[in-house]
Chain A
């Protein structure tokens, strides 16, 4: 083992986005040694891309007047289609205002209340002069009050830069350009992780009293995703591979109606809010045919479903990147587009080379967020393995149930980081690092063997990028917005076959050093297993709830399905095993969420 670098710490945090950094700051403040691991320099984490903001019931702005944690609670639970854990939702809404103010104390330049009147939707809004200079909020879908705190168009960016400045200030150790390949564990307890340096390809062992998974989302399992390319669900794979830690509600996947083709960058809802149309290949405006009342402004899950329905009926526009429809905002005029919708104009220009004043925008519903993840209790402790925590999008804490509200994901990162970070600190203070070197060696050797087999092409000649694209295709085609038993069964069958084929990857490029093909080859099997959990969970859940829409079971079924899916991958198994646990209802019994007027914008997102 001597030829591997080894590191010992109190707390090992895998993932240096907002959730991981916030937890690390809390643990370090309370006197623990912390090492943060990151695939990329921390400030490049996907948290930086969140442009919308974070929800917290401050009630400072005129349109937020009368807001409270209670109102925020009700929005969140209803938005989740009663799939969330209500104790978690309660804790979250009570802590969010504190977390926002704490970030202000640390340096976030939140946008503030001004006394100038402003116009929204034709209505003049007068702000209370008493509140000038306090943190203001903007409107987001599915909320009764304006509650989303923001920094111009860079909420995620400023939050991440500020938190990372705290990491610097506290002198927390950061190892970037590394990837965890497996958790060191004995089926009872977690002792750290085996990690590969992406610069050199060398393996390392990190041992810790407490290990934390904060690796973010898995959007890239669906080729088309608004997510950054590093969001590959690697932390979910780590947990699943232990055989004893389950993933919760993996079938709950959120799609945003308007991802820009072919980069799948988000085009915000403002385009439709201000009067944009959706057109098919015949330039026919098709939404009124399906939704005569709401048209393009039906809720996001509804619009996404209608677009895909229309494409499946053969009305999509063909392109090298798959069929799409058009978003048309030309009739809004140059002045409106270049002022009120400037961000959209910039994205279109930079990433598609088109001007929405004169050109149609190619769009398609796009994977956006995963409500599911490593299942934890309210303290962030993972099910099934001691000394392991998880938080943020990587976790199923379960704040979001079957549908997340816009502004609640960014809020979850720093709120959960604060709450769970404190639990981690307390837990670690009483934990000891008691790991057998033989256990570390066993896990190291296992990963070293994988690397060697790949490098020597001992197992076969399957090309990793081909398999990867097949996985993306299977999920996009069968486990997307519309789901049905037959199609999901096909996905499950194909993923079983694909998983088998991942055992026979061979490298074409040799795999020396920090080789990207080796990176992909080591990562893919875990990704396919996570994909399998999504598909199998979706097949089993014979109801529609939130973002999970079954054409063959179009209604919510509380009698049979008011529960949470737990997907395990037992050691040596060739498919996941599904179990279920009840959803805790404390304050708000399941009611009518609706998919029309009552929930307009409820299927909201990160924008």
Chain B
């Protein structure tokens, strides 16, 4: 009889053609999607050409998204973007998304229906773990793995052990998926789930929207995890059916699946959580943070640039003005989200508030462009990393928080809870 498996292990076993797998086992699994962006793909293309194959394994199962330094920030970036564009053309890659159709990859790929439940996905971007929200196994890899994935359509994996994260009850108003994942990283540390899966479960999952789940799975890597994954429920199926015609397969962890550790989070008592410089695990609640004055607020990224993020930020900004001397920059994550935000009047609210609204790009999150910090400047961002120099000068500081906290903080000019501005 097959031994009990986690949800991740079941997906890996199926795609490796095995009845069962165990943590630590090395397997080769078939890939349903191989993803790259404008800074990791050029290196992958160079390695791919060395392999000497005349075609990619499947033109429809590769996605190339020029989102990091695009729209092109300088001449060298323009060349890299051009190299990716030409590769896509040469090999007939179906899912290449040009500026104008492009979005931040981890918001765009689910929106385009390119991932469904039960898939095995690799991406040359660490936040590829986002698609675990859809019940897929999805993990970040480097450019050489991307190259071999494009050529062979399969990759070796070490089957991961897992941490079970049990979510209880429901979060309070304005407490979001971002607070859940920051709180969890604060509990287990930036390497607390190293080489492991984070498997979310419990009755609290039902209270989280798909956008919240994408945010949570997105930052699994910030705890060192190989992947983060959610069980498939009605909300997942509604999302998949609305976005994809691809076949899907629903996997469930066995009731007696082996877990290295179990962590419980009561969503109802969770407070607004902020990660202070210079690690995502350096968390405090807004209540305990004291007075932290800000120079810039960034709302967007693959973590928090989705429509619900913009809705909550606009709701808090509505009828208010930005704090004097503060810069607030908003990045809708995809063109569809941009359009929807426009139709709902969210962008108008934000511009009237005093925010700058940008086309989709990863730009400021990784210190690329469109919002770089000078020495001594402090930014609160809804992004995912606050390492030294992440958004600019090594003497700048990044605080990570939810869109609700970001919007409230843009009003007061210091890190604030939404209730402080809604009095």
Co-assembled chains A and B: no
**Which residues of B are at the interface with A, using a C-beta cutoff of 8 A?**
none
